[in-house]
Amino acid sequence: MLLREKTIVVTGASSGIGAAAAKMFSAQGAKLVLGARREDRLKQIADEIVQIGGRVEILAGDVGRDAYASCLVDLAEDRFGGLDAAFNNAGIIGEMGPIAEMSEDNWQSVIQTNLTSGFHAAKHQIPALKRRGGGSIVFTSTFVGHTVGLPGMAAYAASKAGLIGMTQVLAVEHGIDKIRVNALLPGGTKTEMAGDDPGAHEWISGLHALKRMAEPEEIAKAAMFLLSDQSAFVTGSAMIVDGGNSINKT
């Protein structure tokens, strides 16, 4: 069991990659604190985990708020005695369109949810990991804005690319504390964010060398590797799990 007795915070846990990760991490022995906006969906995920003998707490809220990031860490320490790792996975695409036509409200919303949330998370998770003697943090970034530019996605790309820069600095700052920090860069994945239009899925699949989209569980496995001791010498990386999207030209 790769995550036996590790206490892990997972955000964006109500669906998609986060929900898949929560179930997978629990099956591998983790104690979980799950966060997302939708409390009803969090309860459903938690119920599934409890039914198979898992240990889980939930807290609904907005990852863009500092107080919420603090409360997630407090819950991990209060209920499970400490924090060993975090999968900061919550994110939004926002309204797509060219910068010249984009509202500032949309820009700020995407940056707040995707990038500022990472600042809040690290601010509270790192002291908790220090109290634990070390640990691992993973941020969900993307290939968009890192290896590929997609029209209409400037706010999303900027926010997720910012996470990679922050990841690298945090890794350097806290390696001495035995804290590893990595970014996970998924390719197109079958989640609510990707919608359910078969035509769109076919187009997205064609961008990848594997000519298909990822299942959420495939991305969750990569996150589990980065959170587990199997990646003990991996830090500061931008780990591409994109089905060959970044190198595909056909």
Question: What whole-number distance in Å separates Cα of residue 110 and Cα of residue 160?
Answer: 10
In a domain, 26, yes or no: yes
How confident is residue 192, by pLDDT bands cut at 50, 70 and 90? confident
State the average pLDDT for the chain: 96
Question: What whole-number distance in Å separates Cα of residue 155 and Cα of residue 168?
Answer: 21
CATH assignment of the domain containing 98:
3.40.50.720
The dihedral region occupied by 178, where left means phi > 0, alpha psi between -120 and 50, and beta the remainder, is left
Name the more confident of 193 and 246: 246
Strand order from edge to edge, sheet including 55-60? 55-60, 31-36, 7-11, 85-88, 135-140, 179-186, 238-241
What range defines the domain where residue 214 resides?
Answer: 7-247
For residue 156, indicate whether it is catalytic. yes
**What's the pLDDT at 94?**
95
pLDDT digits (tens, 9 = 90+) for 147-179: 988 899 999 999 999 999 999 999 999 999 999
In a domain, 242, yes or no: yes
In a domain, 1, yes or no: no
- Out of 156, 166, 223, 241, pick the active-site residue: 156
Contacts of 100 (CB under 8 A, 6+ apart): none
Q: Please give the tally of structural domains in the chain.
A: 1
Which alpha helices (DSSP H) does 37-191 contain, by range?
Answer: 39-51, 66-80, 104-111, 117-132, 154-174
In a domain, 30, yes or no: yes
**What's the pLDDT at 202?**
94
77: pLDDT strictly greater than 90 = yes
93: pLDDT strictly greater than 90 = yes
In a domain, 2, yes or no: no
Question: What whole-number distance in Å separates Cα of residue 227 and Cα of residue 203?
Answer: 32
The length of the chain is 250
Segment 71-80 mean pLDDT: 98
Q: Are 68 and 117 in contact (CB under 8 A)?
A: no
In a domain, 156, yes or no: yes
In a domain, 120, yes or no: yes
Structure-token pair, residue 151:
């029209």
Segment 179-192 mean pLDDT: 94
Question: pTM of the full predicted structure?
Answer: 0.95
Contacts of 205 (CB under 8 A, 6+ apart): 188, 211, 212, 213
